[in-house]
Amino acid sequence: MKTGSSKVSGENDLAHSAAPIGDAPNHPLAVRMGVIAGVSHNVVIGTVMGSFGLMLASVEQRLGVTGEEAAVGIPLVLVGSSILAPFVGVLIAKLSLRLLLMLGALLTVAGYFVLATTSSYALYLVAYGLCFGPAMSLAGSIGPATLVTRWFHRNRGLALGLVHLPIVIAIVPWALERALGHYAPTTLYAAIGTVSAVLLVPLILFTVDHPPNAETVAPEPEEKRTADGSFSIAQLLARPRFWALCLAAIASMTSSVLLGSLLVPMGMSWGFTRPDAALLQSIMSLVGIVGSILFGWVADKLGGGRSLALIGFNCAILWLVLLQHPPFAVTAVVVGLIGMHGAGAIPTLGRGISDTFGQASYSRGFGLNTLIGLPFIALAVVGSARAYTTTGSYDLAIAAIAAFFVLAVLLGLYGATGPKVEGPAAAPA
């Protein structure tokens, strides 16, 4: 009898998972969770990334290091957070999300107070590598996105897009540039740490780990799921549709990082002045704000896989237009559109993973995607610079990115196939 009951339960799980997803109403607390996620993402990533460049000169002077040594901070953050991402994804699935968000917030605050008090280059590296790196995964990317994915059934893609709006990163450089003329850099580091603590710590205390109606689980019988109802890392890696969704999103992420890193030298190689090339970079960032919301909404309408395919199709065309070296006005439009599409990668990927593998699997899936994307992004940036050194042109790199997007179209369409898990009905507050 027990065996038969288990079998029936497993069949019911599969039948439930195979049903088309519906726009189940969100729990009344979902908006609060979205606000917490948005503040956490913006404060952690916005302050770290927004302050770094402006503080470099003062770091060189205060610590007595070269510009290259001071610039190691951000690569430490990015590599550290990417390598930790799969482990953070597993921790979030197993432990209290509120506790992990709080840990990320405290690491962020600690990093700024280390920077405010130290004159040691070793401790400078500790602040970026051991404080900001883990904080970026815990409270900057995976933690906030997981919180939104757990609580939102209706308009989940749009919610992810709104949470990832780069508001703070747009404000911090402007504010710091004015403050540097009046306050010491150490005072500014302490001020950023204090503001981060005031914004994050009280707010995160109001985090509720899971909605009372629970999340959708992995579309497998109960005995094949982990204790929290998700796929394990090995199970995700064994599924071709997971790889398809990840690689389709990574094409867009790689494109954005490549342009963000090399757009100024690229623009100068096309005959534009340095100020004009820098303007292109600003246009890309500003238009990207629109893309986060737009493609979050598109993902809710089309689904994550189809939206990634649409991004891939549009970007393949846009990069091929860049290959023609158009005039500045046309280049500005193309670069802005590429930035807009690039910002849509996270909400569309989030919708695709949670719809296909269940909300419970999202943190593991997003963590794995972050690590898988690291070598693609590094190869694109380093390879593009090498191609320019060898050939005197970025055309080979541009053509390679366009080809990657063509592949992303096919991967996105494949990732959209198969059954989607059904969202549960919302429980009362």
Which percentage of the chain shows pLDDT scores above 70? 90
| Contact criterion met (CB below 8 Å) for 134 and 165 | no
Token duo for residue 134: 């883990």
Residue in this structure with the two tokens 């559109």, named with its chain if needed: 337
In one-letter notation, the amino acid at residue 262 is L
Provide the pLDDT for residue 214: 63
Provide the pLDDT for residue 223: 65
Distance CA 237, CA 258 (A): 26
- For 411-429, how does the pLDDT look when each residue is reduced to its tens digit (9 = 90+)? 999 999 977 775 554 334 3
DSSP-derived secondary structure for 311-371: HHHHHHHHHHHHTT---HHHHHHHHHHHHHHHHTHHHHHHHHHHHHH-GGGHHHHHHHHHH
* 102: CB partners within 8 A, 6+ apart: 201, 204, 205
- For 44-55, how does the pLDDT look when each residue is reduced to its tens digit (9 = 90+)? 998 998 888 788
Highest mean predicted confidence (pLDDT) among 217-221, 227-231, 382-386: 382-386
- For 143-179, how does the pLDDT look when each residue is reduced to its tens digit (9 = 90+)? 999 999 889 988 888 998 898 888 888 788 888 888 8
3-state SS, residue 194 = helix
Distance CA 349, CA 308 (A): 7
DSSP-derived secondary structure for 103-169: HHHHHHHHHHHHHHH---HHHHHHIIIIIIHHHIIIIIIHHHHHHHHHH-STTHHHHHHHHT--HHH
3-state SS, residue 429 = coil
pTM of the model as a whole: 0.78
- For 209-221, how does the pLDDT look when each residue is reduced to its tens digit (9 = 90+)? 988 876 677 676 6
Half-sphere exposure of 67 (CA within 13 A, CB side): 3
> What's the mean pLDDT in 236-259?
92
Q: What is the chain's mean pLDDT, rounded? A: 86
| Contact criterion met (CB below 8 Å) for 388 and 269 | yes
Distance CA 307, CA 315 (A): 12
Instruction: Classify residue 174 by burial, with Cβ atoms within 10 Å: 0-12, 13-18, 19+.
Output: exposed
How far CA 346 is from CA of 144, 164, 234, 405, in Å, comes to 12, 8, 22, 16
DSSP 227: T
CA 348 to the chain's CA centroid: 11
More confident residue, 296 or 215: 296
Distance CA 160, CA 43 (A): 16
* 424: CB partners within 8 A, 6+ apart: 24, 153, 213, 214, 215, 216
> Does 15 score more than 50 pLDDT?
no
Provide the pLDDT for residue 17: 37
Which percentage of the chain shows pLDDT scores above 90? 45
Provide the pLDDT for residue 423: 53
